[in-house]
Amino acid sequence: MNYSIDYYIDQLINHTNIFDTNINNFNANKTFDFSEETILITGAAGTIGKELFNQLIKCSYKKIILVDIAESALHNLSIDFETQLTSSVVFKITNINDRASVEYLFKTYKPTIVFHCAAYKHVPLMETHPYEAIKTNILATKQISDFAINYNVKTFVFISSDKAVEPTSIMGMTKNISEQYLRQITPSSNIQFIITRFGNILGSNGSVLPVFLRQIELNSALTITDNSMTRYFIGKEKACQLILESTCLKNSKNNTLTFKTSQAVKILDLAKAIISISKRSDLKIEVSGVRSGEKMLETMIAESELLTPTNHPEIFQIEHKKKSTKQIVDFKSLENISPESSTQEIKSILKKLL
């Protein structure tokens, strides 16, 4: 029998010892007052963008602008919520790399809150497409944040990743550099820039759980990259509620935040649990080897950072242990990268910016 992904998530959280139940203990009835806000969500058809919208549409708001380049995914999003839609919800197919299109969004809708979720996130794929990773994850982030300043946005939330911490991958490096840039421009702006760093969203598009379920459907072995590899997980509902909570924190103007997630989970243990839940004892587990850019263990903070509490028990502020010299991101070196540039050459440039 093929169970839904939601069934597997429920079983993993509530009927195994893989995760503690805290992984997704959000308040389903909580709403936020955004009645005076026009909210822009980039990457709105992705896992995080869609769940943010799912929670925001239950709140009071002035207008919500949902932006994505994926036509079918954005269309499906509109169908999923069609009974709840009003003229205050706008769907826009937009390439965030295109300057004119992004400026049009800010000029036309004048958002006051931006949730910047759009990014390329798959580590092995970005190792072979570094030029595209830089365009979307760094240069488009710069473009959107610069327009946010120009058009008087009040709050800008950037969705980062634990892969940005002491990164080894192209994807992680691009997130790290984007974090740097937002911290760089904060002192001279009137925007509250918020950087949210967390681990894997359990069941998100292209993540390990959907891959395992696809392999079960095909009656093939479940593949893991290494017996010792671990990852941190958080449920999408909880992650997005904490993202919304972060806009309400009354801390310093520049917040780099992380959330309480699961303990480090061995992917091998996750595969074994999935086989048990599926009642498919005939399935095998195969080790395929660590892929380019992957780390055995991700962490939420670097050795040079420390966690301090906020007034929310599951949100922590990330601070540097020592005051470091302010580094200016050299966008000229990034803008000179071309599709012909080799991965090795691009990684060398990125490493200089870390």
In the chain, what is the straight-line distance between the N-terminal and C-terminal CA atoms, in Å? Answer: 48
Q: Is the pLDDT of residue 21 over 90?
A: no
Share of the chain above pLDDT 70, in %: 98
Q: Is 258 helix (H, G, I), strand (E, B) or coil?
A: strand
- Mean residue pLDDT of the chain comes to 94
Main-chain dihedrals φ then ψ at residue 7, nearest 5 degrees: -65, -45
Point out the residues that are catalytic.
163
* Residues 49-108 pLDDT 10s: 999 999 999 999 999 999 999 999 999 999 999 999 999 999 999 999 999 999 999 999
pLDDT of residue 166: 95
pLDDT of residue 153: 98
Averaged pLDDT, 282-292 = 94
How do the domains of the chain map onto residue ranges? 21-204+234-261+305-353
Which stretch of 166-180, 204-218, 240-254, 305-319 has the lowest confidence by average pLDDT? Answer: 240-254
Q: Is the pLDDT of residue 324 over 80?
A: no
Rg of the Cα atoms in the chain: 20
Rounded Cα gap, residues 350 and 177, in angstroms: 8
Contact assessment for residue 146 and residue 193, using Cβ atoms and an 8 Å cutoff: no
Averaged pLDDT, 117-131 = 96
Share of the chain above pLDDT 90, in %: 87
Chain centroid to CA 172 = 11
Q: Which tokens hold the place of 193?
A: 């820039």
Q: Is the pLDDT of residue 253 over 80?
A: no
Q: Is the pLDDT of residue 250 over 90?
A: no
Q: Which residue(s) pair with 315 in the sheet? A: 259
pLDDT of residue 3: 84
Q: Is the pLDDT of residue 206 over 90?
A: no
Q: Is the pLDDT of residue 119 over 70?
A: yes
pTM above 0.85, yes or no: yes
Domain 21-204+234-261+305-353 fold: Rossmann fold (3.40.50)
Q: Which residue(s) pair with 113 in the sheet? A: 39, 155
pLDDT of residue 323: 72
Rounded Cα gap, residues 18 and 83, in angstroms: 37
Q: Is the pLDDT of residue 254 over 60?
A: no
Contact assessment for residue 236 and residue 244, using Cβ atoms and an 8 Å cutoff: no
